[in-house]
Structure 1
């Protein structure tokens, strides 16, 4: 149940991280921190069943990916500030030109022009996105977003070791002769705790929101069902992924199973292709982004290669 609590807290922090840092960097940094801490703990809990000479170089690659993720965020934030500054200068120049031509200005008032949707990555796109968000992030301090992601990564790192302890009882908390929890039984209590904490936190945040989000009520939440289907689908996919991870961990070691994940790679594709992140960014940002993804991919391959078999050590 402790694992369900930590997963719920990590997931909540991740959702704030998406707004402040972006989808791709949040997932890579949180997943990398999860691996660096969680995999190290699971390696010792599993009796060192994974190949350390392969496992820990992979953990090191994850750590490098997390550092590169913070650099990507800082570089992209600087790019966005530059775009907004250039946009403000352009608007000021345009306003001055309009004042010189009063007739043209009056005609534009009589026949309003249809403004095209701003291209992804432009200053207009960033401003429009900010207006749609409930969490306002433009101008926020870089360290705020990174701090939220680090918080998420730390709590993510704790739920797999907690589940490992629940199913294998390495600390010998059960009385002699009492069988260990099966993966499916442990997963039931894990999910129950996650549900309870998530429900309590979300109701509390409706009335006492953070980071400037307007307050709401439970009645308003019930009446507003927009996007509820996608949220439920995301929850079901998350639950299925966790269940498969735990089954793999019981068979091949949690140190490897918990860290072999393509989530950040998929989320980066979504971030760039669907949500317009990193469009029209600097070459420095693109270089850091590519390096981060490359390091994450190398780390994932190494973790896959380090897997062992639990039956060998018994």
Structure 2
């Protein structure tokens, strides 16, 4: 089993994890804005996420020497299932052998904690794609990541017996907390910019009584342009220019989730719920691998990272599969009603959704590997993923006001500071 032991190796895992976890949200946002239903996207995403976990556990989890206290993945996993099978069948042959196995691998409390972490992450990620539509990519990531760090990092700090440097760690947490308010300010400012631009459109477009595409062809995207100007009309005949009023209406016509005219409170509620779910999955995984609550019987080895990650990912896949199959036939927020057959036949964008799932799966695995070595509180620095997400999603703010840009830059500065400070607080688990 491959184990990250050095502080430098742990920080390397965190940086790679940050890049992976910061990129997949932008891909899901792109797919939704191109009209792919989130139920279809998430089924592909969560399947790829599980496959990534299987690749990690059967490769890195098998690489190296297996010992009694740190067994490799395949050594620890089958014995757990053997005990379950023996209990179900009520087999009482060879009592001594069964008793020894039970004493060595009776780690169901840790398994259940890993399962709980996987469920929390999966539900949080599921809520994420709906929050993107209502609140926006960058702002959703900022608010969610900040809630996650404030709650999750504090819990992990105490669970890890304070191996991280508190005088460095908590100023970093403070930076994330400030970023919550800056993120809300960015959203409010950008929403005001969009509202001002939409006032330039004729009333029939605002009310949704006329299709915007016809206005593009007729050169009505910008009412201030002279309709007799042939050159102007030719430029208007294609797609609307990014950042214009027409761009936002055209986007609304294409996207899967329609948000015009809907309350901002829907998006903020989803974002808050998502943040709470994502703030608890890392502490649950920490408990699963380190048994701080002493739930394991004496002499039973703790779950290694790869075994916990396998259970974590399987649980996340199963809950995502169940919820998405429900949403296929009972869609939320006014989405079209698809079906399993339509999902199978809808291959457009599937490759990107699968790629996003692999990025998320490998990002989570790297985060846990780094956290096991340097402390999960420091590993929560990967929740600075809005740095990467904002890089990919910055196009959403083009043509915004100087006020919006100023707040956006301030938000990014706070995240840069938070990442540097949290990584500097890394300790070393004995």
TM-score by length of 2: 0.65
1:51 alignment counterpart: 165
Q: Determine if contact 2:120/2:278 at 8 Å carries over to the other structure.
A: yes
Aligned position for 1:101: none
Which residue of the partner structure matches residue 80 of structure 1?
Answer: 194
**TM-score (ref. length: structure 1):** 0.89
- Aligned mate of 2:299, from 177, 183, 193: 177
Offset of residue 71 of structure 1 = 1.3
2:384 and 2:414 mapped to 1: Cα distance? Answer: 13
User: 1:284 & 1:112 partners in 2: Cα distance?
Assistant: 33
CA distance in 2, matches of 1:48, 1:23: 33
Matched, 1:61 2:175: yes
Q: How well do the aligned residues superpose, as a CA RMSD in angstroms?
A: 2.4
Structure 2 equivalent of residue 71 of structure 1? 185
Q: Which residue of structure 2 lines up, in the alignment, with residue 301 of structure 1? A: 420
Answer whether contact 2:124 2:278 (CA < 8 A) is retained: yes
What whole-Å deviation, never above 9, does each CA across 1:274-309 have from its counterpart, x for those lacking one? xx3011111111111111111111111110111111
Q: Contact conserved, 2:384 with 2:418, CA < 8 A, in 1?
A: no
Determine the C-alpha separation between the residues in 2 that align with 1:72 and 1:139: 20
Separation in structure 1 between the aligned mates of residue 407 and residue 145 of structure 2, nearest angstrom: 17
* 1:96-126 CA-partner distances (Å, limit 9, x unpaired): xx9xxxxxx9xx9xx9997132111101000
Whole-angstrom distance in 1 between the partners of 2:327 and 2:180: 29
Distance 1:290 1:230 in 2: 29
Displacement of 1:66: 1.3
Closer/same/farther in 2, CA of residues 246 and 113 from structure 1, 3 Å limit: closer
Sort the Cα spacing of 1:89 and 1:29 in 2 relative to 1 into closer, same or farther, 3 A: same
Q: Runs of 4+ in structure 1 displaced over 4 angstroms?
A: 89-92, 111-114
Gaps of 5+ in 2: 1-114, 207-214, 221-226
Going from structure 1 to structure 2, the CA distance change for 1:118 and 1:47 (only over 3 Å counts) comes to same
TM-superposed deviation, 1:263 = 2.1
CA distance in 1, matches of 2:189, 2:420: 27
Match of 2:310 among 188, 191, 195: 188
Alignment CA distance shift 1:157-1:123 (3 Å): same
Q: Pick closer, same or farther for the CA change 1:39–1:220 going to 2, 3 Å.
A: same
Corresponding residue of 1:290: 409
Check the 8 A contact 2:288/2:308 in 1, yes or no: yes
Aligned to 2:120: 6
CA contact (8 A) 2:148 2:383 kept: no
CA change 1:113–1:58 in 2 (3 A) is closer
CA distance in 2, matches of 1:213, 1:277: 23
Q: Which runs of 5+ in 1 are unaligned?
A: 99-104
Partner in structure 2 of residue 158 of structure 1: 280
Pairing 1:17–2:163 present: no
CA distance in 2, matches of 1:279, 1:17: 21
